[in-house]
A and B are shown apart, each in its own frame.
Chain A
Amino acid sequence: MTDFFLLLKNELGLCVLLLFLLVMKISGRDNASFLLPAMQWLLLFNFVFSLLFNSGGRLFGGMFDTSPLLAFQKAILNLALYLSSLLFESWLRKSAHLAEFFLLTLSSLLGFFLLISSAHFLMFYLSLELATLPVAALAGFAPMEKRSSEAAMKMILSAAFSSAVLLFGISLIYGLAGTLYFKEVPAALKEHPLTWLAVLFLIAAFAFKLSVVPFHLWTADVYEGAPASVSSYLSVISKGAVAFVFVSALHKIFVPLKGQIQPVLLGLTLITILIGNLFALRQQNIKRFLAFSSITQAGYILFAISSLKAESFTPVIYFIIIYIFSNLAAWSVASVMSSSAGKENQHDYAGLYYRNRFLAVALVLSLVSLAGIPPAAGFFGKWFLILQGASAAKGIITVFVALNLILSLYYYLKWIWVVFQNTNAGSDTITPTRMEKTGLILCVAGILLIGFWGDLYRYIVELVKPF
C-alpha cells in the first residue's frame, strides 16, 4: 500500500493541490493576496517533495509505469510551474480568476504526469487529452480580448484534429498488434504498410505538440493571442513533457522501425530549424518572435531525438532544464512589458536598458542563452543536443544544423541591440514586482550556473543508464 502512494506521489501531490484550490474556491477565500503566495509556497514544497523518495514500479495492471528517471522529469516540470507562478505574478494578481487559472494549469500538468508514466495506449491517449483541454481553456483566459478567444478556438480545433489523427493511429496499431501495452506492441507489430501509416500518424501527433514544421501553424497565432503566462506554459512545460514522452515512446515502441523513422525525423528537423529561423528573422512582435524561436529550439531537440538511442534522453532532459530557465525569463519580461502598457512590438523594447536595467539584463541573458552563446547555459545545452544528433546523422546534416545557429544569431542580436538602443522612445517606468524579481534572479542564476554544474549532467546520465 505504501508502494502505491510512493509511486503515485507526484500525481497525488497535484491532486492535493487541486483539492485545496477547490476548497478555497468554494469557501470564497480565493483573493489573490492570500491564494497566490499560498500557491507559490505549495508549488515549491511540491517540487522539493518530488525530488525525494523516488522509486520505480508499475501500477493499475501495468498501465502506469514509473522510475526515478520519469519522476525526475516530473520534478523538472514541477519546477517550471513554480517558476512561472513567480514570474507572472503581476498578471496573475490582476486576473479575476486566479483559482481557475491554477486549477486548469494543475489539471493539465497532472495530465502530463500521467502521460509521462503511461505504459498503455489508452492511458496515453486519455492523459494527453487531460493535458490539452485545460490549456485550450487557458488560452482563452482573457475573454474580453478577441485575440485571446481566437487563440483558444484555434487551439482547441487544431488539438482536436491532431487527437483524431492520433486516435486513428492508435486504432491501427491495435488492429495490427492486438494489444495496447507498450511493451507488447513491438513484438506484435508485423511488417505491413499500415504499420507505417500508424507510426506516421503518431509521429504527426507528437510533431504537432512539439510544433515541428509543418505541423506548427497554430503555434504563432496561439502564442500571440494567449496571455504570456499561458504561452510560456505551452512553449516550456507542454513542449518539455511531450519531448520526454516522444523519446521514451520511440525507444519503447518503435524500436523495430528505427531505420525508417530516422530519415523522417531528420527531414522534419531540417525544415523545422530552417523555417523557424527564417520566420523568426522577420517577427516584430515579441510573442510571435518567441513562438518561432521556440519552433527552432524544437528542431534542435528533434535533432537529438533523431539519433534514436536511449542516451538521447540525457541531452534532451539537460536542454529542457536550461530551456525552462532561459525561455521563462524571456516570457516573463514580455509579460511585464505587455501588462504594463500592452507593449509587444520590437520598437517598444528600444532603450529598455535605460528604463529598467534589471529587466533588460534578464532579457538579454535569456536571449544569449537561447542563441547558445557561452557562458550562458544554452551553449552547453545546444552542444550536447548537436553532439547527440551528430552521433547518428550524416556530417552534412550536422553542418546544416550548426550553420543555422549562425542564422539565428542575426535575430537574437537584433533584439539585444534594440534593448541597448539609446532612444527616448518611452519614459514610462516599468517595474516588476518583488516575486517577479526573485523569479528572474533564479532564472538568471540558472542560465549562468547550470553549464558549470557538472554533477547535474552526471546525475542525469546515471538516471538514464538503466533505461
Chain B
Amino acid sequence: MIYTVLVLLIVLFPLAGFLFPALWGRSLFKKSAGPLTVVLMTFSFLLSAYFAYLYFFEFGYQQGAYRRFLFPDIPWLEFSGALAIRMGAYIDAVSVMMLLTVTFVSLMVHVYSLWYMKHQERYAAYFAYLSLFTFSMLGLVLSSNIFQMYFFWELVGVSSFLLIGFYYQKPAAAAAAKKAFIVTRFADVGFFIGILILSFSAGSMDFETILHKLTTPGSDALNTAAAQTFLGISALSWGAALVFMGAAGKSALFPLHIWLPDAMEGPTPVSALIHAATMVVAGVFLIARLFPLYAITVPGVQEFIAWVSAVTALMAALIACVQTDIKRILAFSTMSQIGLMMLSLGVAKYEAGPVPGYTASLFHLFTHALFKSLLFLCAGIMIHFVHNNSIWKMGGLRKYLPLTHLFFLAGCLAISGIPPFSGFFSKEEILLAAYRNYFPLYVLVLITSAVTAFYMFRMYFRTFWFYNLKGPTEKETEIEVPALIPLVLLAIGAVLGGFIPFGNFVTSDGHRMPFHFDVRFSLLPVILNLAGIFVAMWFYKTKNKRSDIVQEKAWKLYLLLSEKFYVDHLYEFITRKVIFQVIGRSAAWFDKNIVDGMVNLSGEATQYVSAAFRKLQSGKVQLYALYFLLAILALALITILK
C-alpha cells in the first residue's frame, strides 16, 4: 500500500507542476511558476530516490532476483471479450532505474531553466510544459500494459511538440515542432498496428501476459500467431517489426530520424531533457520491455534492429563531423549513441541467466542521460554567451567560460569513452556484447566510437581553443550560482557514473550479473578513441587551415555528409511533390474544374431560362442525384462482377 502511494506521488507531483502554472500561470504563478515546479520536482525526485532505495535494498530483491510488482493495478476499460485494459505501474529494476534518471535529469533541467528562461515572456507556460513532459515520461516508463504505454507515448509526443515549438513566433521552430510531431506520429501508426497484432495474438495488452504467451515455445497463442503470414513473413514478426517502427520514430533511428536535428529549434534546456535523456530513449526502453519477445520469438526482427541501429550510429557520427551548429552536432551525436544502445539490444542473444547486451544497453542509456544533458546545458551557456549557435563563431572560450570549459571537457571525455569516465564503462559493455555475438557489428561500433571521439573533440577544440575570440566589451557573468548546481551534479555523474555496478541492479532476468573488465579487451577501443581525439586536436587546437584543405580535397564526401546523405531531400520529394502536388492538387483540381465546372456549365445553360433563380437552379442538386444513382450502380456492378 505504502509503495502504491509512493509511486502515485512521484507521478502526481509533476502533474501538479503542470496544472498549477497552466491554470493560474498568468495571475498567481506569473513569477513563481519556476520555483514552484522546481520544488514539486524536488519532491518527486527525492521520493524516486527513496523508492529506488527501497526497491533495490529492501523489498525488490527476493529469492535471489529482482522481482516485478504492480502498484497499483486497477481495471480501466473492459472490452466485451476477454480483452481488458488495466491501468497500473509496472515496477521492476528497469522502470525504477528510469524513474530515477527521468526525475533527476528533469529536476536538473528545471533548476537550470530558472536561470536560462528568466526573462522569457511565457515563463509560466514553459515550466508547465516541462512538468507535463516529465509527467508523461514517468507515465510511459511505469506503464504496465501496451495501451497505457501508447497513450503516454503519444502524450510525450504532444508535450514535446509544445516544447520544441515554444518559440512558435519563429517559423523554423513552428515548422520543426510540426515535423517532429508528424514524423513520430507516422512512426506511431506502425506502433499502433503492431500493438493490434501483438494484443490480438496474445489476447491481452499486459506486458506480462504478452511476454509470457508469446515467448513460451509451443503455446497455443504462439502457434496460432505463427501460422498466419503476410508476404511470407509471420504475423508476429510483422507485429514486432511495426512496434520497432514506433520505437525507431521516437528514438530517431534511420530513416525516421529526420525530425531530431530540426527539433533543436526548441530552447536548449529542453533539448537536454527530451533529446538527450528521456524522450528519445523511450524507443530503447520499449524494445527493452519487450526484449524476450524479440530475442526468443522473432530473432530475424532482432537482427534487423541491430543493423538499422548500426547504420544509424555510424551515419549520424559521420554527419556530426561536418555540422557547424553546436546543438545539431549534439543532436547527431545523440542519434548515434541511441543507435549504439539499440544495437546492443539487437545483438543480445537470449540465454539462461542475465544477458550482457541488455544490461549494456540500459547502462549506456543511464550514463548517456547524464553526460549528454551536461553537454547540452554547457552548450546553452556557450550559446548564451556568444549569442550564436555556430561553432565558427566561437573560439578561445576557455578564457571567458572556465567552469563551462571543465564541465564540457568532462562530458566530451565521457562520451568519447576515455577511462575512467562513465561513458567508457558502458560503451565497453556494448562492445563486449557485440564482440561475443556478432563480430561485424563489433567492428562498426569500434569505428563509430573513434569517429565520436573525433567529432566531439573537433567541437571542443574549435569552441574552447582555435583562436581567441574578441572578448566582450562588458564583463558578463558566466552563469548564476543556483544554475551551476545542476552542472556540478551532472558532471559528477558523468565522471563517476561508470563506477556504479550496474549489472548488480538492472539485468534481463533480475539475477545479478558480475561486472566484466579485461584490460586486453579495452586496449583497442581506448587507443582508437585517443587517436580520434588527437586527430581533432591536430586539426583544431590552434588556428590553421588544415581542415579547409581536407574539406576542399574531399568536397564530394563533405557535401554528402553535410547534406545528411540527402535523406531529408528524399522525404521532401515524397511529401511535397508526390503527396501534396500530385494527390492534393488533383483533388483540388477535380473540385475546382470538374465539380464547379459542371455546375457552371449547367448554370450558364439555365440562366436564359430563369435569371432570377439562377443560383437555386444551378443544377447542382440534380447533379448530386445523378452521382447518387451512379454510385449505387457502381456498387452493384462491383459486387456483381466480383
**Contact at A409–B158, with CB atoms within 8 Å?**
no
Among A217, A221, A375, A390, the residue within 8 A (CB) of B627 is: A217
Q: Is B405 an interface residue (CB 8 A)?
A: no
Q: 0/1 per residue, A286-313, Cβ < 8 Å to B?
A: 0000000000000000000000000100
State in angstroms the CA–CA spacing of A410 and B638 once bound together. Answer: 33
Chain A contacts with B in 252-280, Cβ cutoff 8 A: 260, 263-264, 267, 275, 278-279
Q: Is B608 an interface residue (CB 8 A)?
A: no
State in angstroms the CA–CA spacing of A379 and B155 once bound together. Answer: 11
Q: A154-B620, A278-B587, A420-B168 are in contact. Are A405 and B189 (CB under 8 A)?
A: yes
A162's nearest neighbour on chain B, judged by CB, is B628
Task: Determine, out of A52-60, A117-125, A127-135, A396-404, the stretch whose residues face the partner at the interface.
Answer: A396-404
Instruction: Give the one of B155, B182, B620, B623 with max A CB within 10 A.
Output: B620
Chain B min CB distance to A311 (Å): 5
**Contact at B628–A215, with CB atoms within 8 Å?**
yes
Chain B contacts with A in 9-66, Cβ cutoff 8 A: none
Among A153, A314, A409, A452, the residue within 8 A (CB) of B616 is: A153
Residues of A within 8 A of B230 (CB): 395
Q: A161-B625, A208-B628 are in contact. Are A398 and B196 (CB under 8 A)?
A: yes
Among B151, B169, B632, the residue within 8 A (CB) of A201 is: B632
Q: Is B520 an interface residue (CB 8 A)?
A: no
Q: A157-B621, A215-B631 are in contact. Are A409 and B79 (CB under 8 A)?
A: no
Residues of A within 8 A of B151 (CB): 374-375, 379
**Contact at A402–B192, with CB atoms within 8 Å?**
yes
**Contact at A279–B591, with CB atoms within 8 Å?**
yes
Chain A contacts with B in 424-462, Cβ cutoff 8 A: 452, 454, 457-458, 461
State in angstroms the CA–CA spacing of A383 and B85 once bound together. Answer: 13
**Contact at B583–A204, with CB atoms within 8 Å?**
no
Chain B min CB distance to A143 (Å): 14
Q: Is A6 an interface residue (CB 8 A)?
A: no
Chain B interface residue bracket vs A: 35 or more
Residues of A within 8 A of B636 (CB): 196-197, 200
**Contact at B174–A158, with CB atoms within 8 Å?**
no
Taking chain A's interface residues, is the majority helix, strand, or loop, or is none over half, making it mixed? helix
**Contact at B620–A409, with CB atoms within 8 Å?**
no
State in angstroms the CA–CA spacing of A281 and B591 once bound together. Answer: 12
State in angstroms the CA–CA spacing of A380 and B154 once bound together. Answer: 12
Q: Is A282 an interface residue (CB 8 A)?
A: yes
**Contact at B639–A158, with CB atoms within 8 Å?**
no
Residues of B within 8 A of A165 (CB): 628, 632
Chain B min CB distance to A465 (Å): 7
B591's nearest neighbour on chain A, judged by CB, is A279
**Contact at A153–B621, with CB atoms within 8 Å?**
yes
State in angstroms the CA–CA spacing of A454 and B189 once bound together. Answer: 24
Q: Is B588 an interface residue (CB 8 A)?
A: yes
**Contact at B154–A461, with CB atoms within 8 Å?**
no
Among B76, B168, B189, the residue within 8 A (CB) of A406 is: B189
Q: Is A464 an interface residue (CB 8 A)?
A: yes
State in angstroms the CA–CA spacing of A399 and B196 once bound together. Answer: 11
State in angstroms the CA–CA spacing of A398 and B587 once bound together. Answer: 23
Chain B min CB distance to A425 (Å): 15
**Contact at B189–A399, with CB atoms within 8 Å?**
yes
Chain A min CB distance to B641 (Å): 12
Q: Is A150 an interface residue (CB 8 A)?
A: yes
Q: A278-B584, A374-B155, A417-B174 are in contact. Are A158 and B193 (CB under 8 A)?
A: no
A314's nearest neighbour on chain B, judged by CB, is B80
**Contact at B615–A260, with CB atoms within 8 Å?**
no
**Contact at A410–B174, with CB atoms within 8 Å?**
no
Chain B min CB distance to A366 (Å): 15
State in angstroms the CA–CA spacing of A383 and B77 once bound together. Answer: 12
State in angstroms the CA–CA spacing of A374 and B151 once bound together. Answer: 7
Q: A399-B189, A402-B189, A458-B78 are in contact. Are A161 and B628 (CB under 8 A)?
A: yes
Residues of A within 8 A of B76 (CB): 452, 454
Q: Is A413 an interface residue (CB 8 A)?
A: yes
**Contact at A464–B625, with CB atoms within 8 Å?**
no
Q: Is B642 an interface residue (CB 8 A)?
A: yes
**Contact at A214–B583, with CB atoms within 8 Å?**
no
**Contact at A406–B77, with CB atoms within 8 Å?**
no
**Contact at A457–B615, with CB atoms within 8 Å?**
no
Number of A interface residues at 8 Å Cβ cutoff, please give it.
Answer: 63
**Contact at A403–B639, with CB atoms within 8 Å?**
no
State in angstroms the CA–CA spacing of A395 and B192 once bound together. Answer: 12
Q: Is A93 an interface residue (CB 8 A)?
A: no
Q: Is B178 an interface residue (CB 8 A)?
A: yes
**Contact at A409–B181, with CB atoms within 8 Å?**
yes
**Contact at B621–A158, with CB atoms within 8 Å?**
yes
Among A157, A263, A264, the residue within 8 A (CB) of B625 is: A157
**Contact at B169–A422, with CB atoms within 8 Å?**
yes
Chain B min CB distance to A126 (Å): 22
State in angstroms the CA–CA spacing of A398 and B147 once bound together. Answer: 17
**Contact at A458–B77, with CB atoms within 8 Å?**
yes
State in angstroms the CA–CA spacing of A196 and B77 once bound together. Answer: 38
Residues of A within 8 A of B398 (CB): none
Residues of B within 8 A of A402 (CB): 189, 192-193
State in angstroms the CA–CA spacing of A359 and B185 once bound together. Answer: 27
Chain A contacts with B in 163-194, Cβ cutoff 8 A: 165
Q: Is B635 an interface residue (CB 8 A)?
A: yes
Q: Is A63 an interface residue (CB 8 A)?
A: no
Residues of B within 8 A of A311 (CB): 79-81
Q: Is B232 an interface residue (CB 8 A)?
A: no
Q: Is A92 an interface residue (CB 8 A)?
A: no
Chain B min CB distance to A381 (Å): 12
Residues of A within 8 A of B186 (CB): 403, 406
Instruction: Give the one of B78, B151, B169, B624 with max A CB within 10 A.
Output: B624
Residues of A within 8 A of B182 (CB): 406, 409-410, 413
State in angstroms the CA–CA spacing of A367 and B625 once bound together. Answer: 32
Residues of B within 8 A of A98 (CB): none
B192's nearest neighbour on chain A, judged by CB, is A402
Q: Is A146 an interface residue (CB 8 A)?
A: yes
A357's nearest neighbour on chain B, judged by CB, is B26
Q: Is A354 an interface residue (CB 8 A)?
A: no
Chain A min CB distance to B184 (Å): 10
Q: Is B75 an interface residue (CB 8 A)?
A: yes
Among A158, A200, A373, A422, the residue within 8 A (CB) of B635 is: A200
Q: 0/1 per residue, B117-130, Cβ < 8 Å to A?
A: 00000000000000
Residues of B within 8 A of A420 (CB): 168
**Contact at B196–A373, with CB atoms within 8 Å?**
no
Q: Is A218 an interface residue (CB 8 A)?
A: yes
Q: Is A387 an interface residue (CB 8 A)?
A: yes
A208's nearest neighbour on chain B, judged by CB, is B628
Residues of A within 8 A of B (CB): 146, 149-150, 153-154, 157-158, 161-162, 165, 196-197, 200-201, 203-204, 208, 214-215, 217-218, 221, 260, 263-264, 267, 275, 278-279, 281-282, 311, 314, 373-375, 379-380, 383, 386-387, 390-391, 395, 398-399, 402-403, 405-406, 409-410, 413, 417, 420, 422, 452, 454, 457-458, 461, 464-465
Give 9 closest A-B pairs by Cβ, nearest first.
A217-B624, A278-B587, A214-B631, A374-B154, A454-B76, A402-B189, A157-B621, A311-B80, A457-B77
Given A373-B158, A375-B155, A402-B192, 11 more A-B residue pairs with CB atoms under 8 Å apart are A146-B615, A150-B616, A165-B632, A204-B628, A379-B154, A386-B192, A399-B189, A403-B186, A405-B185, A413-B178, A461-B80
In the assembled complex, 5 residue pairs joining A and B whose CB atoms fall closer than 8 Å, in A order, are A204-B632, A379-B151, A383-B147, A410-B182, A417-B174
